[in-house]
Amino acid sequence: MRLGDLFDQAPREAADTPVSALAYDDRRVSAGTVFFCVRGFTRDGHDFADAAVAAGAAALVVDHPLGSGVPEILVDDVRAAMAPAAARLAGDPTARLATVGVTGTNGKTTTAFLIRQLLEAGGRRTGILGTVTQVVGGVERDAGRTTPEAIDLQRTFAEMLDGGDTACVIEVSSHALALGRADAIHWAAAVFTNLTQDHLDFHADMEDYFAAKARLFAAAPGVPKVVDVDDPYGRRLARQHPDAITVALDAPDARIRATEIASDLRGSRFTVEGRRLSTPLTGRFNVRNALQAYVVARELGVDAEVAAAALARAGRVPGRLEPVDGGQPFAVLVDYAHTPDSLENVLAAARGVVREAGHGRVLCVFGCGGDRDRGKRPLMGAIAARDADVAIATSDNPRSEDPAAILDEVLAGMADARATVERIEDRHAAIERAIALAAPGDVVLVAGKGHEHGQTFADRTIPFDDVAVAREALAGAGWTSDPTTEASRA
């Protein structure tokens, strides 16, 4: 492509400059690359213009003239200019790829996994981009970020088409929506799971967070929009979009409801429009995820029978209520709950399991990440202290913060505990302690890190996998691990 094809504002004398790639990081620039000088939160990309030119940049996108010696495209907002240019260079791939966007605080990964499995059952090769994994043209890749930058996204969509995908499902984070990463995508459907407190380190308040999420729906005119209206923000979103397909477990006015819900460790069963459905996923919240996936798949043309059969055999999502089974007479579940709402939901699911069994306690190991929304900490502490029988507060990813100081903030919410509270800063020791305390019929819930493979501290990231640590702890307590219980990947 030529510069003039990519940017309407390209200087006329430079319009024929050949362009081979786009970059937002000077370290990824080579000959023929257009470098976007993004004003970031910590750095100003204009400071890397010289380095980009030295590396062979064909042109720069800037918000003020730099006199760099290469053509400069002057725009008001460099960050916002990335997505449309990236879509053009990649050949506007989502015009030919049925792209489903899933947003919400919790449930994106699970719902996206389910949608992919249902679309594949319906005969569409489907790619996925999300927190846990990426699958592009049937080949799995490590996921770096939940929603990549527009330049990476659009290139990946093109690779999906080249790899034979005809559909794709992507998790759309609020960061991505606020920062325009998901602009210039032609959506085939959009899904809203819920909105509860998270990321208030990034968003000014819940209104700002909601406004970011709502951008996905404003960008999806005339396509199916599936919205969970048991959530108050979902209800608001549905009011803004009267064409939304409202779904719910509780709200009687929802267009499609899941009723007659039963859920235990083997999975969940529920009825939708007279059809009895099942999924191997546990917990009421997973019925919500399954309902949304089923409705989206139907809207995109998957036969109800086929969708129901795929839902019934859907693979588990790694690190989401993932059982660790060493043959012990109590359950150990690893989950990614790292928000107040998700912790409350998984604790309710765990409570449901012991209630069904008629006896047993819920032991919860949990923590809160550093460099993230501090307001979550006492809230999560209070929820664990209220809803577990034994609540062991430990470290999540402390990142640049002092782990002990994070725990102080968590413990501040645990003053009026119903549960027995313990504070064990070392996560390994905390998991071992919970397993040592567990008695037959109990449920040990290890929350917060799910599928993650490392634990990040100020000066290092150490290998850490809650499932592996739980399995070791079980083995140490005399229970032999059974690798066949590992979660299957999509």
Ligand X SMILES: Nc1ncnc2c1ncn2[C@@H]1O[C@H](COP(=O)(O)OP(=O)(O)OP(=O)(O)O)[C@@H](O)[C@H]1O
Ligand Y SMILES: N[C@H](CCC[C@H](N)C(=O)O)C(=O)O
Can you say which residues are annotated as belonging to the binding site?
Answer: 104-110, 146-147, 173, 181, 372, 396-399, 448, 452
Beta carbon of residue 102, minimum distance to ligand UAG (angstroms, whole number): 11
Question: What letters, b where the CB count within 10 A reaches 16 and e where it falls short, cover 77-93?
Answer: ebbebbbbbbbbbbebb
- List binders of ligand X among 76-115 (CB under 6 A): 104, 106-110
Beta carbon of residue 265, minimum distance to ligand Y (angstroms, whole number): 24
268 binds ligand X (CB under 6 A): no
Contact range with ligand X by CB under 6 A, out of 212-220, 284-292, 294-302, 404-412: 284-292
- Token code pair at residue 483: 């690798």
346 binds ligand X (CB under 6 A): yes
The residues facing 102 across adjacent strands are 171, 191
203 binds ligand Y (CB under 6 A): no
Q: Which residue in this structure is represented by tokens 């923000």?
A: 233
Gap between the Cα atoms of 464 and 426, Å rounded: 12
449 binds ligand Y (CB under 6 A): yes
181 binds ligand Y (CB under 6 A): no
Alpha carbon distances (Å) from 19 to 5, 58, 127, 184 = 10, 7, 27, 19
Q: Name which of ligand UAG, ligand X, ligand Y, none residue 193 binds, using a CB cut-off of 5 to 8 Å depending on partner kind.
A: ligand X
Q: Name which of ligand Y, ligand X, ligand UAG, none residue 345 binds, using a CB cut-off of 5 to 8 Å depending on partner kind.
A: ligand X
338 binds ligand Y (CB under 6 A): yes
Residues 6+ apart with CB under 8 A from 382: 413, 414
- Token code pair at residue 381: 């502490």
Gap between the Cα atoms of 275 and 226, Å rounded: 19
Q: Name which of ligand UAG, ligand Y, ligand X, none residue 246 binds, using a CB cut-off of 5 to 8 Å depending on partner kind.
A: none
DSSP codes, 198-221: --TTTSSSHHHHHHHHHHHHHT-T
396 binds ligand Y (CB under 6 A): yes
Comparison of 31 and 404: residue with beta carbon closer to ligand UAG = 31
Among 397, 413, 424, 451, binds ligand Y (CB under 6 A): 397
Gap between the Cα atoms of 299 and 132, Å rounded: 25
Among 17, 33, 154, 194, binds ligand X (CB under 6 A): 194
171 binds ligand X (CB under 6 A): yes
Helices and strands in the chain, H and E counts: 15, 23
Gap between the Cα atoms of 167 and 357, Å rounded: 42
The residues facing 264 across adjacent strands are 267
Catalog residues that contact ligand UAG under the rule CB under 6 A: 24-27, 38, 40-43, 45, 48, 145-147, 149, 173, 175-176, 202
Provide the binding-site residues for ligand Y, judged by CB under 6 A: 146, 338, 369, 372, 396-397, 448-449, 452
